[in-house]
Structure 1
């Protein structure tokens, strides 16, 4: 059962600093121009719309890349608005066991996080979209958001991986021990807009555990006035500073991790780094109160398996929205282990 309850565009896109050098198991790639194992200079590949990737993209030709038949394209679709300028959002999995989101629009297909813990599970979930993926953007380096198995599949299929520039050494130290990932297409981002195909992506910092940088994303399709904005943010605990990011969004994916009563009954010290149902409701109330228009839909994600329940999260968030404007908005819950329905948001 479903309950119902921005024009803010990112300008420009990230131009990488030069020179920049990354050492992985003794191999260096640098801007401008990296070299493959045969010493041939990497000229990059055309991106969507004829745009070339950042020079020095760490990419190489591979052989035998496998494409698989998966589940992502076989879920029902929920359409909201006019599809002339629209995007499709889908959660493929959500929770401490793994997170992966899918966003599609205008010929561009984007992953946000890829926390699959097994090769089989990753290939099964992504099989239907692997040939069409333009990139995977990673919010932070915890293994439920980027895992060795996912890196293997992304490398096999030549899918660019967008990671915060300062996190690349930590990614290498944590995930490259079993494989040097010589053919992984790494593309660093800074805290400024960058582009993947038709999407302009603005990373913003959120407070998580204080150990690793954690980002939410404003993802914009189209121009300033008529563009559509999706906001995706999980793994944070302090909501007041980030609530302006959610204003005037056309779609919101946000964490509702735990119920405080269930947390008291099942203590977990790491829950303090995540957003409770109550605080999720407060965040949405604040953001909607300052928005000029309602979002087309909201999806709650990263629910704790032990310290939350889908109905409890939904009811608590709706209670927090009492008295807020724009309350009649579709409110969805991301399933933990399976794809959600596709949600199409248009004008």
Structure 2
């Protein structure tokens, strides 16, 4: 009887230890360049090289809705309905740490210059800063549903999605320095240092979908003009010589110069939300067709099937 009880106890202990073991994923070498697609309908992360070859797929059992690279060898994963963020080391595939956060995370933004990341939350309507090890530094109350973020020098720019203001904060202590009037349901943001402008896209609201990208003075917030990019331009990416914009209402990719002139446009993907540049390619993620489109010189050169609901793109380019 004692032997049987000991056997049961040992078996339960093994099961408990197995349950406590952290899941690890297929590693990606530090010197390997990739573009990664975060897919949110069935949460996963696909790592793809410039030849369109899938290097690895990380399948998740958590409802992650977003991801961001922290430097060149860490990825932070978060979810709007999750009360933890998880940070993994890419070169080992192992979890580095988890950090408890409030449910309601809408976005995470990383500033590589100061090695800090910022979390916006739609339940508390706050933005909170952390160092790269996950230690909380400061927090600030914002408008309704803060989400899109970017930074320039010592300023953090935050769009309040369900509000009519954009908040400009000091990155060091998150004090609010300015608030600019913007349209409700604004989404997508890019800094153009060359023209000293901040470009902002958006969905629009109700029966009035947004059809343009707005250009604001980076210092004063004064509206400089609008660029017609129908319909619902929400994904913006500034490159060294152009601004890439995807409008998911018309499945359209626009490529504009820094003055706002559209150089060319192309229909691509099914319900795209995000665009990025990887090596010599413009890459668009189709949310509904679960496909990445690699475009070069205005032509689709290849497509790559990814997991369901391609929603974000992460780019790492090694020299």
Q: Which structure has the highest helix share of the two?
A: 1
Where on the TM-score scale, by shorter chain, does this alignment land: which range?
Answer: 0.3 to 0.5
- TM-score normalised over the length of structure 2: 0.35
- TM-score normalised over the length of structure 1: 0.33
